[in-house]
């Protein structure tokens, strides 16, 4: 009856508002993440499941967006709904908000649709003042607890809501501990805490310029405003940018009855995961602190105990928590991140959400849950991020190198292995320096006493994170795992001096200063001075990953090929699961030292005969090159070869010659010094040749098919080498599928003429061997005109391969090297404009890394449609960097390409991304 009466008050408030802005926990559910945020949806689901959740309510993400739309004013009716919901919480708990007797204290927490650990703000113990604190004392009989809650509230509210400098509070707290001769906050006597509350208020008033608010409703209003405002703080904005989370979602605000973990040794607080977030092992993993509040665990100020010890400290609580954890994982069918508090032996659940996990854990959990019957193979494929596959295959420290470093005394300390991986770079002791150096391309390891959410901009660009304090569920560890960064936390063997920018090893006194090399192993927790060499990950040992990718292969429709210029690259690509070679660049073969002089002879030849003589020397070398590639791409079981696309020579010839500037310096010096006449003559000859080939814009000059048209004997030699290599292997019973790609075609007549020349070579070789050697000729679509006239080019081509690196350059009018060095990164990060608070972003992402769908993508789509209409049997693929980018792969699936081709190391990523694209668009089509 009480519930019905009190709910009516909220219903009335809703009727008088344009929208329902507030939901009681009992009104929400797990499917309302977009409206209630992950935290609100999670506590609602737990409430409805009958779990022990302190009562509360959620203010929606829509209210947050309306707050911004109204120039940071609460939307009409929101505050009235919040007060009505608060009344219901009062009646459910039997407590009164602001009451002198039995006062209700609440927490005010953020909670967006996607988890953003530590990026937004929280206020605990709200509702306490000089009067209600006496009510807490009377209620609990524990003066120390009451004033500890009070000082915590003033400290947190001042930082979060009043925007004061937290260092003054921390410094004073340290002074009080020293005066009381105690080591931890929990040991400060009640009398000292009383005085500390008074001193804290003075600091808050001095810094903010206004008395500390004692009206509990004013406290609540200001706290809600602060949480809404934290949606757009710098760290949250940077985190969303990095993780590609839309800025338009907004955050919900959760107002929940406080339960207290700082009421003595029968109370505590903790964070736990239903499985190990670093390894994926099916074991309860987490940490807790006795006589503490939630921020003590995640802030890393005190090093907590492992969750397994709770079994000794509070056996009945541990057993209940285990059961709840298992129930929640079964319910959500995913690994959960749980927050809990124990008050006087009573367990309360404060949060459940899908747990952040590193790459190894993500893959293992997905595969294990299929085996356990919790999820399907399709769902497992959807759950693992392609970036996690990349992280899983990153290099690791060489064990022998680590042993050597240990013997040399370079093993400095060992901390908690909070997030696995190998990281090495310059030690940096503040986030601003890390951000500055990281963006400049310097490898840095961020070293902090403990990290805070304000450090996130430095964490985003660091190679790894090292902290002196904190546990495996501290802010540093949680964020590092989410970012896929190696992290060593709670390294108690070091002392970090952030003011002097150095760390000191406790046992030895060794000092490592900013800018010196440091290596951290997130898998073992080891910290080394200097750089430790790394070794490549062994794909064949990644059993779970191989199983997951075998499932992915069932769902994808795009082929996944690889770019490989040498047999070793081709073999690696096959190991990673490539089904062909989409780009073999022959110019890389020309650059090898033993053949470069022959290439230069060919380039410097004065006559066709001289050039042909040099090409005759190159022919057997190129034939051997191509034979090696083909052999690497033959299935040993069937003798069937995977398709191999070989691009004829593309760059301008002067790239194979010495630098004009360096030659000019050499000639000038030799002329000045005298002597060495023969060498000087050779240098002059080379300088003249290089000078005659110089171009104002080589990228758009004499290269690609243009070079082949002016010097057809080069293309002829390469085609002969390809087909003769095929013929040799086919004599051995192998079946091959060579594809010869003619680059930089802008007009159909270019392709017609080059193909005519090369078909003549193929016919001649067929005649010589008495049979037809299978082959295909195609072109790379890398110029806008080629895309626009694809219907004219397609009838002359057996395949198109989209060279989107050059197509991006020619569409945007950017020279990639110049753009990335001069302005492109500023376009992406944002331009500083005088008088404007926010940076002006010109581009959302680097178009050389992620395909520009609106511009370059339209040309690709047009070429696909026109090409297929003119030649229904034409094969279409993409090569270059975009072939390994998940967003670009999705676009390739959408426009109907046959395959993507990427670097060998990105083949596993492409296999997963292609499957996810197929599954995503199949679902949309239903």
Residues marked active site are found at: 475, 879
Own/partner long-range contacts of 4-10 (Cβ < 8 Å, ≥24 apart):
6/87, 6/88, 6/91, 6/92, 7/88, 9/84, 9/87, 9/88, 10/81, 10/84, 10/85, 10/88
Closest of 282, 275, 268 to residue 312, by C-alpha: 268
The C-alpha atoms of residue 137 and residue 144 are separated, in whole angstroms, by 8
DSSP H helices, 556-675, are 567-575, 586-590, 596-604, 608-632, 660-673
Long-range contacts at 312-317 (CB < 8 A, ≥ 24 apart): 313/268, 314/266, 314/268, 314/342, 314/345, 316/345, 317/342, 317/345, 317/347
Selection from 494, 474, 492, 491 nearest residue 304 by Cα = 474
Residue 789 DSSP symbol: T
Report the half-sphere exposure of 27 (CA within 13 A, side-chain side).
Answer: 19
Q: How far apart are CA 81 and CA 443, in angstroms?
A: 51
The residues, any chain, with a CB within 8 Å of residue 358's CB and separated by 6 or more, are 277, 278, 388, 391, 419, 420, 421, 481, 484
Q: What is the dihedral of CA 804, 808, 814, 816, to 10 degrees?
A: -30
Distance, CA of 220 to chain centre = 36
∠ CA 381-463-387 to the nearest 5 degrees? Answer: 15
Strands 106-112 and 251-257 come out as: antiparallel
CB-CB contact of 828 with 846 (8 Å) = yes
Cβ-based neighbour number of residue 796 at 10 Å: 22
- Token output for 860: 């690709």
User: Alpha-carbon distance 452 to 455, whole Å?
Assistant: 6
Rounded distance between C-alpha atoms, residue 639 and residue 732, angstroms = 9
- Looking up tokens 């190998």 gives 422
Q: Rounded to an integer, what distance in angstroms lies between the CA atom of residue 807 and that of residue 811?
A: 6
By CB neighbour count within 10 A (0-12 exposed, 13-18 middle, 19+ buried), where does 177 fall? middle
Tokens describing residue 94: 């039997």
Measured distance CA(102)–CA(687) in Å, rounded: 92
Strands of 411-414's sheet, edge to edge? 411-414, 526-529, 517-521, 422-428, 444-448, 464-467, 487-489, 416-419
- Contact between 358 and 391 under an 8 Å Cβ cutoff? The reply is yes
Cα–Cα distance for residue pair 874/900, rounded to 1 Å: 15
Q: Map 115-149 to HEC letters.
A: CCCCCCCEEEEECCCCCHHHHHHHHHCCHHHHHHH
C-alpha count within 13 angstroms, C-beta hemisphere, residue 605: 19
DSSP 452-509: -GGGHHHHTT-SEEEESS--TTSHHHHHHHHHT--EEE--TTEEEETTTTEEEETTT-
């Amino acid at each position: 009856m009480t519930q019905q009466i009190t709910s009516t008050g909220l219903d009335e408030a809703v009727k008088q508002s344009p929208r329902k802005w507030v939901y009681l926990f009992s009104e929400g559910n797990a499917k309302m993440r977009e409206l209630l945020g992950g935290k609100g949806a999670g506590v609602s689901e737990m409430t409805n499941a009958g779990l022990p959740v302190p009562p509360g309510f959620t203010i929606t993400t829509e209210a947050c967006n309306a707050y911004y739309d109204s120039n940071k004013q609460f939307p009409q009716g929101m505050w009235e709904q919040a007060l009505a919901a608060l009344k219901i919480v009062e009646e459910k708990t039997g407590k009164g908000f602001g009451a002198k007797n039995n006062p209700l204290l609440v927490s005010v927490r953020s909670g967006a649709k996607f988890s953003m650990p530590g990026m937004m703000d929280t206020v605990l113990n709200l509702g306490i003042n000089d009067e209600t604190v006496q009510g807490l004392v009377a209620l609990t009989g524990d003066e120390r607890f009451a004033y500890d809650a009070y000082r915590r509230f003033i400290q947190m509210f001042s930082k979060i809501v009043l925007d004061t400098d937290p260092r003054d509070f921390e410094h004073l707290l340290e002074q009080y501990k020293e005066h009381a001769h105690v080591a931890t906050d929990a040991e400060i006597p009640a009398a000292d805490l009383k005085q500390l509350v008074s001193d804290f208020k003075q600091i808050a008033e001095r810094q903010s310029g206004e008395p500390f608010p004692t009206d509990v409703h004013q406290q609540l209003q200001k706290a809600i405003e602060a949480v809404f405002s934290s949606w757009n703080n710098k760290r949250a904005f940077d985190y969303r940018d990095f993780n590609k989370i839309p800025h338009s979602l907004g955050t919900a605000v959760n107002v929940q009855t406080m339960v207290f973990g700082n009421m003595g040794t029968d109370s505590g607080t903790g964070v736990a995961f239903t499985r190990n977030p670093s390894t994926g092992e099916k074991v309860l993993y987490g940490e807790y602190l006795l006589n503490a509040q939630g921020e003590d665990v995640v802030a890393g100020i005190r090093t907590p105990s492992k969750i397994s010890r709770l079994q000794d400290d509070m056996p009945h609580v541990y057993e209940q928590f285990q059961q709840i954890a298992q129930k929640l994982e079964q319910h959500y069918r995913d690994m959960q991140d749980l927050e809990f508090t124990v008050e006087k032996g009573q367990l309360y659940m404060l949060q459940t959400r899908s747990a952040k996990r590193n790459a190894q854990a993500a893959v293992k959990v997905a595969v294990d849950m299929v085996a356990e019957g919790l999820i399907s193979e399709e769902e497992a494929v959807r759950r693992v991020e392609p970036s996690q596959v990349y992280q899983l295959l990153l290099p690791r420290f060489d064990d022998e190198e680590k042993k050597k470093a240990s013997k040399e005394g370079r093993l400095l300390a060992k901390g908690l292995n909070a997030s696995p991986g190998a990281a090495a770079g310059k030690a940096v002791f503040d986030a601003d320096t890390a951000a500055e150096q990281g963006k400049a391309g310097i490898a840095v390891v961020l070293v902090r006493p403990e990290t805070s959410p304000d450090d996130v901009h430095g964490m985003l660009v660091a190679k790894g994170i090292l902290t002196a304090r904190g546990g495996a569920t501290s802010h540093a560890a949680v964020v590092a795992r989410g970012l896929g960064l190696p992290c060593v936390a709670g390294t108690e063997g070091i002392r970090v001096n952030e003011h002097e920018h150095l760390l000191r090893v406790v046992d030895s006194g060794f000092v490592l200063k900013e800018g010196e090399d440091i290596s951290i192993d997130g898998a073992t927790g080891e910290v080394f001075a200097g750089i430790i060499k790394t070794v490549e990950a062994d794909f064949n040992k990644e059993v779970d990953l191989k199983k997951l990718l075998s499932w992915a292969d069932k769902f994808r429709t795009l082929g996944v090929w690889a770019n490989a210029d040498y047999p070793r690259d081709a073999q690696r690509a096959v190991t990673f699961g490539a089904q062909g070679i989409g780009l073999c660049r022959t110019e890389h073969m020309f650059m090898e030292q033993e053949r470069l002089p022959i290439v230069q002879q060919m380039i410097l030849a004065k006559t066709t005969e001289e050039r042909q003589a040099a090409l005759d020397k190159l022919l057997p070398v190129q034939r051997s090159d191509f034979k090696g590639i083909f052999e690497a791409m033959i299935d040993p079981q069937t003798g069937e070869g995977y398709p191999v696309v070989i691009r004829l020579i593309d760059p301008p010839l002067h790239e194979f010659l010495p630098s004009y500037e360096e030659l000019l310096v050499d000639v000038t010096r030799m002329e000045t010094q005298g002597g060495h006449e023969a060498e000087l003559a050779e240098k002059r000859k080379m300088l003249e040749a290089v000078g005659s080939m110089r171009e104002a814009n080589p990228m758009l000059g004499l290269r690609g098919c243009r070079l082949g048209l002016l010097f057809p004997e080069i293309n002829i030699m390469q085609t002969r080498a390809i087909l003769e290599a095929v013929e040799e292997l086919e004599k051995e019973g192998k079946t091959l599928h060579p594809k010869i790609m003619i680059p930089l075609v802008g007009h159909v007549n270019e392709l017609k003429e080059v193909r005519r020349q090369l078909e003549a070579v193929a016919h001649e070789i067929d005649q010589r061997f008495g049979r037809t050697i299978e082959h295909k000729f195609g072109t790379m679509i890398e110029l806008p005109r080629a895309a626009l006239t694809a219907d004219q080019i397609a009838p002359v081509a057996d395949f198109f391969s989209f060279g989107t690196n050059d197509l991006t350059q020619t569409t945007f009018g950017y020279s990639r090297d110049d753009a990335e060095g001069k302005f492109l990164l500023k376009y992406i990060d944002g331009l500083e404009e005088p008088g404007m608070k926010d940076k002006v972003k010109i581009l959302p992402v680097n178009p050389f890394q992620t395909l520009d769908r609106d511009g370059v993508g339209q040309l690709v789509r047009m070429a696909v449609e026109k090409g297929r209409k003119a030649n229904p049997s034409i094969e279409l693929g993409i090569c270059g960097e975009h072939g390994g980018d998940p967003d670009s792969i999705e676009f390739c699936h959408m426009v109907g390409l046959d395959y993507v081709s990427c670097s060998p190391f990105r083949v596993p990523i492409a296999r997963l991304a292609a499957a996810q694209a197929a599954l995503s668009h199949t679902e949309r089509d239903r």
